[in-house]
Amino acid sequence: MWEYTEKVKDHFFNPRNIGEIEAPDGIGEVGSLACGDALRLTFKLDEDGRIKDARFKTFGCASAIATSSVLTEMIKGMSVEEAEKVTNKDIADYLGGLPEQKMHCSVMGREALEAAIENYRTGGRKKHKLEGRVVCNCFGVTEKEIVRVIRQNNLSSVEDVTNYCKAGGGCGGCRGEIEKIIGQVQNNKIKEAAVSRPAKPHRLTNIQKMQLIQRTINEQIRPALRAHGGNIELIDIEGDKVIVAFREMCAHCKVAEFTLKEVVESRLREFVSDKLYVEEDKQSQERHEHRD
Amino acid sequence: MKVIYFDNNATTQVAPEVFEAMRPYFCEFYGNPSSMHSFGGEVAGKIRQGREQVAHFLGCHPDEIIFTGCGTESNNTAIKGILAAAPGRRKIITSRVEHPAVLQVCRELENQGYTLVEIGVDKTGMLDMDRLEDEIDTETAIVSIMHANNETGILFAIDKIAELAASKGAIFHTDAVQGVGKIKLDLSASPIRLLSLSGHKLHAPKGIGVLYVKKGTRLSPFMAGGHQEAGRRAGTENVAGIIGLGRACELAGEYMDDENTRVKKLRDKLENQIINRCSDCRVNGEAQNRLPNTSNISFEYIEGEAILLMLDREGICASSGSACTSGSLEPSHVLRAMGVPFTAAHGSIRFSLSRYNTEEEIDYAVEKIPPIIEKLRRLSPFTAE
């Protein structure tokens, strides 16, 4: 059970300004069914350029509906310039706060508002579009967006960033990257790192190397493959040769060769040793082909 | 407001008869069954009785019953205990739709170097038996497949799978937490080697579980310590819990017909009325081959948590496979494994009944649910005005 404020409950059970304005001055859309929440925001201006009417349609949980409802209430009467300055924190504060894990709902509200304003100004981009380098592939979150939620909400851990914009919440493969971004933005005033990238060791005994390879596969490689319905198994280690077998979806995948080099080998080199190279176990490959 | 409880796959009401049976064993007869004095010895007698009641209900010998703290502990004990006792075999087979109490245990073991195979299901929720048969080999230490799925109620052919496992010398374990007490299960002639059950799913209290271990099965203990449970599970017995579970098993036997007739009828009525009165919804899982108390319905274009909160305001308790948090890409691993599209998976609600539900409650819920669905649909950008 989530602990929602009375204001959140009020806006969820009695949402204001539901619907869509016909021939709106601005329209913004964000999210999708797959992501679990989506919002379509429309607004109309009066003669003085102030927001006269704003309406929403939302698919999502209680806090997604409440933030959408409250957003329409907040921006009514604002000029476009004023509306542009509304941050996700303003929306959350207006509701008397949101549970940490639900802060991404307030970010969704701000993104839809932004897209609607740009649509009003340029006539284009009614959909919230990705700008710049994508860091989280699962949820399609860019570096720019991550930097922004960190700045506006003074975030200091990867977990916070996931709560605010979903980045890192899927396969977890980008969590190291997010940690780096937090470090850059916050100038190394990180509270406590949720994911710590182990410094590459200088010298390893055979046993240590094997354990580190297994750990790297468990923590860095398998989660990324699992997110796509695949899996990997460590078969053997002979000197610097690491023999692995792909399972599930990966076993039938046409780009398995690419995954082997670009994902498995590069991660192992990054975390264990530059000398490592990876080969696929031929025997288990034959077995899988036999089954099909 | 009256609470209408349709969440019995999460937990159940402790039966008043069970509570009465347990009551004297807190303040009055609080002795330790391991003690030498007769005050404790009498308690040991009650534990023996509880063990017999559970064994009688399952159709097994009392010595084959190990009392544990919960279903999760039973699952951990079974899987890790079998692997530890069979060092020559390194392969684990399970299904993609298991409860986390099995699936996460297996994935953790995979990280320790065991080979893990997760068998998929088709869109009706039925297990891919061809693949399963193909994968069970002489390397396989344990096959763990649930009896009934907690989210959809789908039943799996555990006796048949147990035979397949036995033919290759692998041990079969089943997480029967959801099925026990709802449909008849007789272990006397079954090839099942290990079975987990949990007290609070069949009207006993929380904090008591059972692991059935067929005679002649090698199992390393999970908890080390004292000699309790014939050295197979250390720790002072949950005396009242065991007595309560014994009584609950007795009652489950008595109510078995009721579960499969009256409760099933109530479930069918609830399900049919919802489907008839709400547009764009679907029942997840094969209709016939499932628990008599469970119905999993997807309401398209709306989200589960919002539905649950609206139901909650009407006093109706249900649950949703989707926990909408930032980190949940997958709405429900069970529904996604069945290939339920995202449009429907996010809005899935599980109604699970018990013998305490009444026709009036069903009628009330059937009145309240359609307007809630309509209200949320009006908010959704994916439905037409």
Cα–Cα distance for residue pair A113/A111, rounded to 1 Å: 5
A vs B: CB pairs below 8 A: 95
CA-only gyration radius of chain B, Å:
22
Does the pLDDT of residue A288 top 60, yes or no?
Answer: no
* Per-residue confidence in pLDDT tens, chain B, 385 aa: 899 999 999 999 999 999 999 999 999 999 999 999 999 999 999 999 999 999 999 999 999 999 999 999 999 999 999 999 998 999 999 999 999 999 999 999 998 889 999 999 999 999 999 999 999 999 999 999 999 999 999 999 999 999 999 999 999 999 999 999 999 999 999 999 999 999 999 999 999 999 999 999 999 999 999 999 999 999 999 999 999 999 999 999 999 999 999 999 999 999 999 999 999 999 999 888 999 999 999 999 999 999 999 999 999 999 987 555 544 556 788 998 999 988 788 899 999 999 999 999 999 999 999 999 999 999 999 876 4
Catalytic residue, from B27, B106, B281, B324: name it: B324
Whether residue B166 is contained in a domain is answered as yes
Q: Are residues B212 and B352 in the same domain?
A: no
Does the pLDDT of residue A111 top 50, yes or no?
Answer: yes
Beta strand segments in chain A, E:
26-32, 37-45, 51-59, 134-136, 141-142, 230-238, 241-247, 277-280
The ipTM, to two decimals, is 0.87
Whether residue A260 is contained in a domain is answered as yes
Closest CA to B370 of B265, B270, B267, B264: B270
Judged by CB atoms closer than 8 Å, whether chains meet at B324 and A163 is answered as no
Q: Which pLDDT does position A226 carry in this prediction? A: 79
What is chain A's mean pLDDT, rounded?
Answer: 85
Cα–Cα distance for residue pair B109/A233, rounded to 1 Å: 12
Please tell me the total count of domains within chain B.
Answer: 2
Q: Which pLDDT does position A292 carry in this prediction? A: 41
Q: Which pLDDT does position A169 carry in this prediction? A: 80
Interface check A38 vs B, CB under 8 A: yes
Whether residue B280 is contained in a domain is answered as yes
pLDDT in tens, A28-80: 999 877 777 899 999 999 999 999 999 999 999 999 999 999 999 999 999 99
Interface check B384 vs A, CB under 8 A: no
Interface check B332 vs A, CB under 8 A: no
- CATH code, domain carrying A68: 3.90.1010.10
Residues contacting B326, CB < 8 A, separation 6+ = A101, A102, A103, A104, A162, A163, A164, A165, A166, A169
Per CB-CB distance under 8 Å, the chain B contacts of A12 are: 306, 309
Do residues A60 and A72 touch, judged by C-beta distance below 8 A? Answer: no
Q: How confident is the model at residue A285 (pLDDT cuts 50, 70, 90)?
A: low
Q: Which pLDDT does position B329 carry in this prediction? A: 52
Interface check A290 vs B, CB under 8 A: no
Residue B27 appears among annotated catalytic residues: no
Interface check B134 vs A, CB under 8 A: yes
Question: Which residue from B111, B118, B305 is facing A61, i.e. has the nearest CB?
Answer: B305
Task: Return the residue in A61, A164, A248 with the most chain B beta carbons within 10 A, the one to mutate for interface testing.
Answer: A61
Per CB-CB distance under 8 Å, the chain B contacts of A169 are: 325-329
Cα–Cα distance for residue pair A212/A200, rounded to 1 Å: 10
Cα–Cα distance for residue pair A111/A82, rounded to 1 Å: 15
Q: Which of residues B235, B251, B267 is at a domain's end?
A: B251
Q: Are residues A49 and A157 in the same domain?
A: no
Whether residue B385 is contained in a domain is answered as no
Q: Are residues B92 and B114 in the same domain?
A: yes
Question: Which residue from B303, B343, B381 is facing A61, i.e. has the nearest CB?
Answer: B303
Do residues B317 and B4 touch, judged by C-beta distance below 8 A? Answer: yes
Closest CA to A150 of A118, A113, A189, A116: A189
Q: Are residues A176 and A266 in the same domain?
A: no
Q: Are residues B29 and B143 in the same domain?
A: yes
Cα–Cα distance for residue pair B95/B101, rounded to 1 Å: 12
Judged by CB atoms closer than 8 Å, whether chains meet at A218 and B111 is answered as yes
> Against a cut of 0.90, is the pTM above it?
no
Do residues B240 and B26 touch, judged by C-beta distance below 8 A? Answer: yes
Return the higher-pLDDT residue of A230 and B43: B43
Per CB-CB distance under 8 Å, the chain A contacts of B115 are: 233
Q: Are residues B204 and B230 in the same domain?
A: yes
Q: Which pLDDT does position A193 carry in this prediction? A: 46
- CATH code, domain carrying B56: 3.40.640.10
**Number of other CB atoms surrounding residue B214 within 10 Å:** 19
Q: Are residues A160 and A266 in the same domain?
A: no
Whether residue A232 is contained in a domain is answered as yes
pLDDT average, residue stretch A208-222: 89
Does the pLDDT of residue A289 top 80, yes or no?
Answer: no
Per CB-CB distance under 8 Å, the chain B contacts of A243 are: none
Full domain range(s) for residue A258: 206-291
- CATH code, domain carrying A275: 3.30.300.130
**Number of other CB atoms surrounding residue A127 within 10 Å:** 15
Judged by CB atoms closer than 8 Å, whether chains meet at A214 and B113 is answered as yes
Q: Are residues A81 and A106 in the same domain?
A: yes
Whether residue B239 is contained in a domain is answered as yes
Closest CA to A272 of A247, A237, A245: A237
Interface check A55 vs B, CB under 8 A: no
Q: Are residues A175 and A252 in the same domain?
A: no
A142-150: Cβ within 8 A, 24+ apart: A143/A181, A146/A178, A146/A181, A147/A181, A147/A185, A149/A88, A149/A107, A150/A181, A150/A182, A150/A185, A150/A186
Whether residue B314 is contained in a domain is answered as yes
Q: Are residues A164 and A223 in the same domain?
A: no
Q: Which pLDDT does position A63 carry in this prediction? A: 93
**Number of other CB atoms surrounding residue A217 within 10 Å:** 22
Residues in chain A, total: 292
pLDDT in tens, A122-178: 887 666 666 788 888 778 888 988 998 998 888 989 888 988 888 888 777 788 889
Task: Return the residue in A41, A59, A88 with the most chain B beta carbons within 10 A, the one to mutate for interface testing.
Answer: A59
Q: Are residues A141 and A228 in the same domain?
A: no
* % of chain A surpassing 70 pLDDT: 89
Interface check A61 vs B, CB under 8 A: yes
Q: Which of residues B251, B281, B313 is at a domain's end?
A: B251
Please tell me the total count of domains within chain A.
Answer: 3
Per CB-CB distance under 8 Å, the chain A contacts of B371 are: none
Q: Residue B50 CA to chain centroid, in angstroms?
A: 21
Q: Are residues B291 and B192 in the same domain?
A: no
Q: Are residues A14 and A118 in the same domain?
A: yes
Full domain range(s) for residue B289: 4-10+256-379
Q: Which of residues B251, B268, B286 is at a domain's end?
A: B251
Q: Are residues B119 and B212 in the same domain?
A: yes
Pairing of strands B194-198, B140-144: unpaired
Interface check B327 vs A, CB under 8 A: yes
Cα–Cα distance for residue pair B284/B275, rounded to 1 Å: 12
Cα–Cα distance for residue pair B176/B185, rounded to 1 Å: 10
Least confident of A198-212, A229-243, B74-88, B287-301: A198-212
